[in-house]
Structure 1
Amino acid sequence: MPSLYDYRLFISHAWKYGDDYTRLVNLLDNAKNFSYYNYSAPKEKPLFPVGTPLTNSDIAKKITDKISPSQITIVIAGMYVQYKDWIQYEIDESKRMGKPILGIKPYGNVITPTYVSNNANEIVNWSTDSIVSAIRRLVK
């Protein structure tokens, strides 16, 4: 049997909303016939060590470095209101680099923020099949 293709994903997230991120990663980990590499900064290996003085410029560069090798950016739309500036930056950088953007409506949400819906190549509901199928369609 041939090996699976490893999709290279950047998942936009904020640790305050870590449960949604963790749920999404678990969903992708358990998806049948789907393999991926996660370019996001995991909680156990943050962009910067604790106590490092941060500037917005430093953070932006690190985020750009994470998006660069990915093939697609995934945005959990429910995080948008709290982290609008950084999520807009991630969306804008992804577009600048020609990366498709997949918006995911959090479970139970009906409304998707306008900035996400206007910039996403596709928006899907919170289900393994719809997310994995959209990744496969958008990554060429």
Structure 2
Amino acid sequence: MSEKNPIRIFVTHAFQEHEEYSRVFEYLESRDNFYYVNYSDPDGKPEHGGQEGIQEAIRNQIRLVEAVLFPVGIYAQDPWLIEFELKVAQAFKKPVIAIQAFGGTQTLPKEAMAAAVETIEWNDRLMTDALRRFGRGEEIAKWDVIEFDPDLD
């Protein structure tokens, strides 16, 4: 992934600002050489068209992405709309990566969690690795730590 070929992402938002939505971008920005384009627009709630207008706006935001990030803490803001975002992602065959609620205190309905291909903790490397694996199909090198006793002869 390069500046010329950034990964395209959508972060669930229910057309409302939320600290976990903002935190996703803080984590992504902290990673060197990780480039992305954010297709989510929490401020872009249509003023006209009612529920169908809102649904179409969500479809348009998700249609061209490679992966969807789902910060679980956002779910309580508008469960119906978050579930709709997850269903749209599934309909477009976009992988959904769930991020546990910050502090790990929130539980979700099984249907919402079943939409996720993986659930990760709040960690910048886990987040970018999951986006590369599921959004781009890239192999991610993981290192195993082997403990040894240097005093053994």
Q: What range describes the TM-score normalised by the shorter chain of this pair?
A: 0.7 to 0.9
Residue 134 of structure 2 corresponds to 138
How far, CA to CA, are the matches of 1:116 and 1:89 in structure 2? 10
Return the TM-score normalized by structure 2.
Answer: 0.79
1: CA distance, partners of 2:42 / 2:77 = 19
Structure 2: how far apart are the matches of 1:91 and 1:41?
Answer: 15
* Structure with the greater alpha carbon radius of gyration: 2
Query: Does 1:78 pair with 2:73?
Result: yes
Structure 1 position 37 matched with structure 2 position 33: no
- Provide TM-score, normalisation by structure 1: 0.85
Deviations 1:53-98 (A, max 9, x none): 3411000001100000101111111121331111111111111111
Q: Decide whether the 8 Å contact of 2:13 with 2:21 is kept in 1.
A: yes
8 Å Cα contact 2:10-2:38 kept in structure 1: yes
1:1-140 matches, within 5 Å, as: 3-4=2-3, 5-14=5-14, 16-43=16-43, 46-48=44-46, 52-113=47-108, 114-139=110-135, 140=137
Q: Is the 8 A contact 1:102 1:121 kept in 2?
A: yes
Structure 1: give runs of 5+ residues left out of the alignment. Answer: none
State the percentage of identical aligned residues: 25
Which residue of 1 is the match for residue 148 of structure 2? none
Task: Name the count of aligned residue pairs.
Answer: 134
Superposition CA RMSD, Å = 1.9
Give SS of 1:80's match: helix
